[in-house]
Structures are given as C-alpha cells and as structure tokens.
Amino acid sequence: MEKKIFVTKPNLPNLSDFTACLESIWESRNLTNGGPYHQKLETELCRYLGVKYISLFNNGTIALLTALQALNIKGEVITTPYSFVATAHALLWNGIQPVFVDIDKQTLNIDTNKIQAAINYKTTAILPVHCYGGPCDVEKIGQIAKENNLKVIYDAAHAFGVRLGTSSILNYGDLSVLSFHATKVFNTFEGGAIVCNDESTKKRIDQLKNFGFVDEVTVVEAGINGKMSELNAAIGLLQLKTVDDNIGKRKSVDEYYRIKLKNIKGIHAHYENSSAKLNYSYFPIFVGHEYPLTRDQLYEKLKAKNFFARRYFYPLISSFPMYSGLPSANKRNLQVADGVAESVLCLPIFTDLTKSQIDQIVDIIEKV
Ligand code: T4K
C-alpha cells in the first residue's frame, strides 16, 4: 500500500532538543501557569512577528472567545461565512449573533464593499479572517470601523508571519488571534495567541485567560482557563528556529504547483497577493465548469490514489444548522462564498512535499 499524503504534515523539532526541554521541566516541576518557557516564547514571538504584545493560549478557539470578552463585544458582529467553523462558534459562545457578509471573489476575504449595508444599531464589531493567510483589505476595514465606531478583531489563525510591506498583518485592528494548531505553519501541537497593541489590554487578556484572577485571592471577572502549558511553549521555542526555513520550502512547493497546474483547463490556483509576504499555509485550487470532473469527483479520485486533499471551507459556516436560520445566512446573500465553497480543493502542502509527489498529484488532476 502506498503512503498516504495528507493536506498537511506538521513540522516537528528534533526529538533530542525537546527531550532536553523535558528534562528541565521535570527538574523544575514548573508545568504551566506562565512558567519560563511561556515567558520566553511570548518575548521571542513578539520579536519574530514584529508585534508589541502577545498572550499565549491553549488553542486558537479559546483565544477567539477571550478576545471577544476582552473588548466586551455584544449584540451583532459582522463576519465571513468562508472560514473554519470556530470563527462563528466563538461568537455564538459569547451570546453574539454573527452577521454573514459575502466574500470578495479574488481574495476570498470579507467583501469590504458589502460591510456597510450589514451594519445596524446592534453591530459592535467586525470579525474578518485572513483566509489562507492572504491579508484582508485592512485599510478599508479600519476606515469602516472608525466611521461606525466598531471594534475589529482579526481571526488571523492562518496568518502567522504574514507581512504587509514592513508591518506584520497582526498589527491591524484592535486584536488579532492566531492558531498554533498541529496543522498550522507554526505549531505548538495545540496552541494560539492574542496579539494586542497596549500593555493594559495584554494585562486584561492575561487575567481573562487565568479565570479572572488578579492576585492569589481576588477574582474580578468570570475568566476561563486559556493558559498554554510549558510543554507547548517549549515546542514553540524550538519550532521558531526552523519556521523561516519551513515557509521558504512551502513557497517552493507553491511555485512548483503553479507552474505545473498552469495549463490545465478548468483548474485555477488562488491568486497571489504580490504586496504581501505570505506564509503558504494552504494551496487551494478551484475546479471550474470547463474541467471534466466535479470538485467532489476530483477529491475522490485523489483520495483513491492516497492523496488526501481537503475541501476547506466547504460547507459554508452559514449552512450549519446553528446558523442557517439567520437572515444573513441566506444563500442569495452569499453567492460568491457559495460558489467558492462548491469549487475549492486544498491540495497537500508541507515542508518536505517532494517534486515527484507534486508531479503525481498533478498527473492525477491532468489525466481525466
Ligand atoms: N479560525 C480559523 C480560521 C481556523 O482555521 C481555525 C482552525 C481556528 C480559528 C481555530 O483554531 P484552533 O482552536 O484549532 O487552534 C483543522 C484544525 O483542527 C483546525 O485547527 C484548523 N483551523 C482547520 C482549518 O483544520 P480538521 O478537522 O480539518 O483537521 P484534521 O485533524 O482532519 O487534520 C487535517 C490533516 O492534517 C489530517 O488529515 C492529517 C494531518 N494531521 C492532522 C493532525 C491534527 C497530522 O498529520 N497530524 C495531526 O496531528 O481541522
């Protein structure tokens, strides 16, 4: 049986380097609650990402929940239906109603021309997603938010290391939320973070992720347990050493796919934002009508040959039962997102995906 190739393959540090960290953790018995690895990873990430403050979390979803709490978001929040379901779930768990706005057909991020019409007196914030790590139109979103007195929290789960010009994409909006899940470009097995711009917000976030404690005996609000353990933080520190190399290799995979797929009728690669430094976290293609198979037939065909592509993000979040009854979930309102979700297929992309494996994948796509 041939080896299975999945949509991604997590990067791992040298086991011996991690064993050395384990030995020091065993020695110190400092397992969690802001230990030395946690502190060091926050400092190193601020430096690497080019951001002012970062609070580590046990995963991106809890970080999203906490970000909404930190800014006291209520009522309605404008967001995209074309994302992983955690984006909208974070709103629902906070008793907030998501309002879905269609996406732009090129960037696949929220269509900024459609945001204004979705704002009403209940709207308190915008929760856009930098889908596949491609930056949202952050200037326009900032302007709309300012004019309407709204907060902006970016779901930047895919956007580790992404830069617009010289600035990190994470510096836009009020807060940005990262995921360090195993499937991400930078992983701590499970993990996440909130990026913010000022010390008092960081303090509030750190309080919220630690049950609302301000000192040993004082709890000032209903916080949660969002803390990252020392094991995860130690992994993160080791991963940081190779993340540039990882992104560079992914870039080569991306380039090779683009060359190989260029002339296949009905197959389109995602556009490349040339003004951004990307992280190549996903390689989505879109299966058009001119292609002889449907997207799902192609997905099955690849699977039969042991290549496990994924339909990120199908179905749309708005079509799940907890959202489908919302007025904004109406398909007529989300035609671009609907079309994209029906045609997308994320092909395998990871550091050591070989040219020969890409050749095999493209061969399966080409020979129909
Ligand atoms: N916002 C956005 C926009 C997100 O994309 C996500 C997460 C979040 C928020 C929430 O962040 P977290 O709370 O997760 O930190 C995966 C991930 O579980 C999820 O983190 C990610 N987005 C989403 C896009 O994808 P699944 O259910 O597709 O993952 P799974 O387990 O099927 O993994 C995909 C493939 O990766 C597997 O077929 C094999 C490979 N794999 C996976 C894991 C977990 C490995 O080789 N090793 C592994 O340990 O959701």
Which ligand 1 atom is at minimum distance from the Cα of 62?
A: 13
Confidence band, pLDDT 50/70/90 cuts, at residue 233: very high
Radius of gyration of the chain (CA): 21
Q: Give yes or no for residue 134 CB within 6 A of ligand 1.
A: no
Q: Give yes or no for residue 155 CB within 6 A of ligand 1.
A: yes
Confidence band, pLDDT 50/70/90 cuts, at residue 284: very high
Q: Give yes or no for residue 308 CB within 6 A of ligand 1.
A: yes
Mean pLDDT, residues 308-328: 98
Which ligand 1 atom is at minimum distance from the Cα of 61?
A: 13
Please state the pTM of the whole predicted model. Answer: 0.98
Mean pLDDT, residues 106-124: 98
Helix, strand, or coil here: 366?
Answer: helix
Relative orientation angle of helices 355-366 and 295-304, to the nearest 10 degrees: 130
The length of the chain is: 368
Tokens of 23: 């030995």
User: Which of 183, 187, 189, 320 maximizes ligand 1 atoms within 8 Å of its Cβ, making it the mutation to test the pocket?
Assistant: 183
Tokens of 171: 């510096």
Cα torsion 99, 201, 189, 361: sign: positive
Q: Give yes or no for residue 312 CB within 6 A of ligand 1.
A: yes
Tell me the per-residue pLDDT of 46-59, one tens digit each, with 9 for 90 and over.
999 999 999 999 99
Q: How far is CA 74 from CA 98, 126, 345, in A?
A: 10, 11, 35
What was the pLDDT predicted at 257?
98
Q: Give yes or no for residue 6 CB within 6 A of ligand 1.
A: yes
What was the pLDDT predicted at 273?
87
Percent above pLDDT 70 for the chain:
99
What does the DSSP assignment read for 328-348?
Answer: GG-GGGGHHHHHHHHHEEEEP
Give 360: exposed, middle or buried? Use CB within 10 Å, 0-12, 13-18, 19+. Answer: middle
Tell me the per-residue pLDDT of 35-48, one tens digit each, with 9 for 90 and over.
999 999 999 999 99
What was the pLDDT predicted at 113?
98
Q: Give yes or no for residue 346 CB within 6 A of ligand 1.
A: no
Tokens 């807060």 found at: 175
Mean pLDDT, residues 61-70: 98
Tell me the per-residue pLDDT of 151-192, one tens digit each, with 9 for 90 and over.
999 999 999 999 999 999 999 999 999 999 999 999 999 999
What was the pLDDT predicted at 138?
98
Q: Pick the closest to residue 283 from 352, 349, 359 (CA basis).
A: 349
What was the pLDDT predicted at 192?
98
Q: Give yes or no for residue 365 CB within 6 A of ligand 1.
A: no
Percent above pLDDT 90 for the chain:
98
Element (H, E) at 240: helix 230-240
What's the mean pLDDT when you consider all of the chain?
97
Q: Is the pLDDT of residue 1 over 70?
A: no
Q: Could you tell me the distance, in angstroms and rounded to a whole number, from the CA of residue 184 to the centre of ligand 1?
A: 7
When mean pLDDT is compared across 1-5, 105-109, 137-141, 288-292, the lowest value belongs to: 1-5
**How many whole angstroms separate alpha carbon 218 and alpha carbon 227?**
18
Buried b (16+ CB within 10 A) or exposed e, 331-346: eebbebbbebbbbbbb
Q: Is the pLDDT of residue 283 over 60?
A: yes
Which ligand 1 atom is at minimum distance from the Cα of 59?
A: 15
Q: Is the pLDDT of residue 8 over 80?
A: yes
**How many whole angstroms separate alpha carbon 157 and alpha carbon 79?**
14
Q: Pick the closest to residue 341 from 329, 327, 353, 357 (CA basis).
A: 329
- Are 230 and 35 within 8 A, CB to CB? yes
Three-class secondary structure assignment of 87-100: HHHHHHHCCCEEEE
Q: Give yes or no for residue 87 CB within 6 A of ligand 1.
A: yes
192: CB partners within 8 A, 6+ apart: 56, 57, 58, 59, 60, 61, 62, 63, 64, 157, 177, 178, 179, 180, 181
